[in-house]
Amino acid sequence: MAPIFFAAQQVLEGLLWLNLPTARDGSISAGLTFLFLILAESFWPIYAPIAVMLVEPNQSRRRVILACVAAGLGVGTYLLWDIVNWPHGATIQDGHIVYVNVTEHGVVVALAYLAATVLPLMLSTQRTVVALGGIILVGLVVAYTLYWEAFVSVWCFFAAAASVVIVLHFERSHQSRPAVVAINN
């Protein structure tokens, strides 16, 4: 499901790219920004640790990931409250979409978000999940270092691109399963 959610998020941002330069009253842009931020800032910290916990076979790691679920529920709920209650916007600057809001999120919110979205991936015993986490972590470092002002947009793009790892994993696992032939008597 993650690649589908990432695709939906990228479609929203693509529509925002198309709408921002031509928006007259900004209502469509405001709606697209709102929906994008709900996915980027509120949905992922809740969904990611739950998804990893559900596929993790190791019980002790699942307990640690459960702490990440708690962090995700907390930060995802807080960011949802922030998105709903405070003005947010988006502009195109230097070839990137920059999301702006009136609230400053401190280091605690950033660490809770990372604990929810990246840490569970890195804690998994599943190689594909860890690879996905590594790619997303590299994307975070690149986006933070080179594109700070457009961090949300650029990191989301890296994460969406990384979801190809999930698709390839399922494709490989599908190809390695033996074919089942039904015999009718």
What would the two tokens of residue 65 be? 């990931």
Tell whether 130 is covered by a domain.
yes
Total of domains in the chain: 1
Domain membership of residue 86 as a residue range? 2-176
Tell whether 183 is covered by a domain.
no
* 181 in Cβ contact with 20 (< 8 Å): no
pLDDT tens track of the chain, all 185 residues?
Answer: 777 888 888 889 889 988 888 876 778 888 999 999 999 999 999 999 999 999 999 999 999 999 999 999 999 999 999 999 998 888 888 888 888 887 788 889 999 999 999 999 999 999 888 988 998 899 889 888 888 788 888 887 777 778 777 777 767 766 665 555 556 65
Alpha helix (H) ranges present in 57-126?
A: 59-85, 107-117, 119-123
pLDDT at 48 (0 to 100):
95
CA angle 93-96-101, nearest 5°?
A: 70
What would the two tokens of residue 74 be? 């907390």
Tell whether 184 is covered by a domain.
no
Tell whether 182 is covered by a domain.
no
What is the Cα 161 distance to its own chain's centre?
Answer: 11
Tell whether 185 is covered by a domain.
no
User: CA 171 to CA 174: how far, in whole Å?
Assistant: 5
Residue 99's DSSP bridge partners are 90
Tell whether 103 is covered by a domain.
yes
